[in-house]
Amino acid sequence: MTGEERGPDVEAYAGLGDWTPDSLAVPGVVRAVVSAPDPVLSRAADEVDPTAEETIRLAADLVATMKVSPGCVGLAAPQVGVGARVFAVDVTGHPKAVTVHGTFVLCNARVVEATRWKPGREGCMSVPDLTGDVKRASRLVVEGDLPGSGEPVRLVTDGFEARALQHEIDHCAGLLFLDRVAGAHAIYQRKVYL
Amino acid sequence: MNELAITVIGRDRPGIVADVAEVLARLGANLTDSTMTRLRGHFAMTLICTGPATAEVETALASLAAEGQLLATVRAVTPDGDVPPTGEPYVMAVHGSDRMGIVAAMTRVLVDAGGNVTDLSTRLTGELYVVLAEVELPAGVADTLVGRLHRTAAELGVEVTLRPADPDLL
């Protein structure tokens, strides 16, 4: 069922509720992050069963890998080499974040409303040497399923969390920020400061 | 492996990129970093290639240049010339009435603050002159630099903004 068919039936969706990574009840394992041009990053990932054991383990692994990666605010399954529509996000404490839902994982997520597009410069763990100027919606409504319970959720967010969600949903569709850069002169060599 | 710095410039027409890239590919020259852009009706390409010898590329591009109005230069460069970053990335935007010396004066202010310009483009449309520069600045100099840039811009009668270009890692 697509978002359009489903319609904006707000009542049918709870927010994250009391979901936390602990709800997964399995310890996450840190996985290796793959870099472009790995083909897994350019393939549309498969829908998952959010209640399946392997999905729950993947969700825990994504959280664990995100947490040990400095500055990382989101990680999608294709970035750890798995073609599954699952990603973790956590923008807690980021200076550009407004609405913050804490650490969460979504399965089969899709954008249902995107407005107030704003440019910003993005980098990605899977494209470590480049950054690019990308327009993203700063008001966003996303629907998806929670790993574990499989409950459908509808998240309304903005600002930096909205940008992070769009970046991760793109990963699940086989798209990198490189596919969305504003123009021929909108990619830059990334500088790493030690 | 030879590393070559190649420039090609000529009256813009459809097909310049394809023609030049085809010549290079046929010689086994691998195009690495490049910028190619139209500047007031001229198409300008600046490329770094790896592979063949300088003379080979010169000869091949000369045959292309003979057909049209293209000017090509080729020279060998030392590979791996990556310069370590000197600081944090900023974007400087300057705009105002065209006059002599805007780029010279504004970039001198950046250099004197320890800045390193990594990318710069200028456009003149009618009376309006626009400069956009990517610059790496040593930590902590931005605030005082803004004041200096404004003073120099005021002397030139142009506007300047300096903003951080910090990317967000996602």
pLDDT in tens, A135-168: 999 999 999 999 999 999 999 999 999 999 999 9
* Bridge pairing between strands B70-77 and B88-97: unpaired
CATH number for the domain formed by residue range(s) B2-77: 3.30.70.260
Question: In angstroms, rounded to a whole number, what is the distance separating the alpha carbons of residues B48 and B34?
Answer: 6
In the prediction, which pLDDT does A69 show?
92
How many domains in chain A? 1
In the prediction, which pLDDT does B114 show?
95
In the prediction, which pLDDT does A93 show?
93
Give the domain CATH number at A37.
3.90.45.10
Nearest CB to B169: which of A125, A185, A191?
Answer: A125
Instruction: Note the pTM of the prediction, 2 decimals.
Output: 0.83
pLDDT tens digits along B3-23: 999 999 999 999 999 999 999
Nearest CB to B136: which of A124, A167, A191?
Answer: A191
Question: In angstroms, rounded to a whole number, what is the distance separating the alpha carbons of residues A69 and A81?
Answer: 16
State the DSSP string of A116-178.
Answer: EEEEEEEEETTEEEEEEEEEEEEEEEEEEE-TTT--EEEEEEEHHHHHHHHHHHHHHTT--GG
Mean pLDDT, range A160-182, rounded to an integer: 96
In the prediction, which pLDDT does A1 show?
40
pLDDT tens digits along B114-156: 999 999 999 998 899 999 999 999 999 999 999 999 999 999 9
pLDDT surpasses 70 at A70: yes
Write out the residue limits of the CATH 3.30.70.260 domain(s) in chain B: 2-77, 88-164
In the prediction, which pLDDT does A192 show?
59
Nearest CB to A74: which of B35, B87, B170?
Answer: B170
Mean pLDDT, range A29-45, rounded to an integer: 95
**DSSP conformational letter for B15:** T
Burial B68-82 (b: 16+ CB within 10 A, else e): eebebebeeeeeeee
Q: Which domain holds residue A67?
A: 15-189
Q: Say if domain B88-164 classifies as CATH 3.30.70.260.
A: yes
pLDDT tens digits along B36-83: 999 999 999 999 999 989 999 999 999 888 766 789 999 999 876 666
Question: Which of A161, A178, A181, A189 to probe by mutation at the B interface, max B CB count within 10 Å?
Answer: A189
In Å, how far is A32's CA from the nearest CA of chain B? 16
Chain A positions contacting chain B at CB under 8 Å are 71-74, 94, 96, 120-125, 131, 160, 163-164, 167-168, 177, 184-185, 188-193
**Binding-face residues of B in 32-61 toward A, CB within 8 A:** 35, 37
Q: What are φ and ψ of residue B84, in 5° steps?
A: -65, 145
- Residue A168 annotated in active site: yes
Report CB contact under 8 Å: A163, B168: yes
**DSSP conformational letter for A84:** B
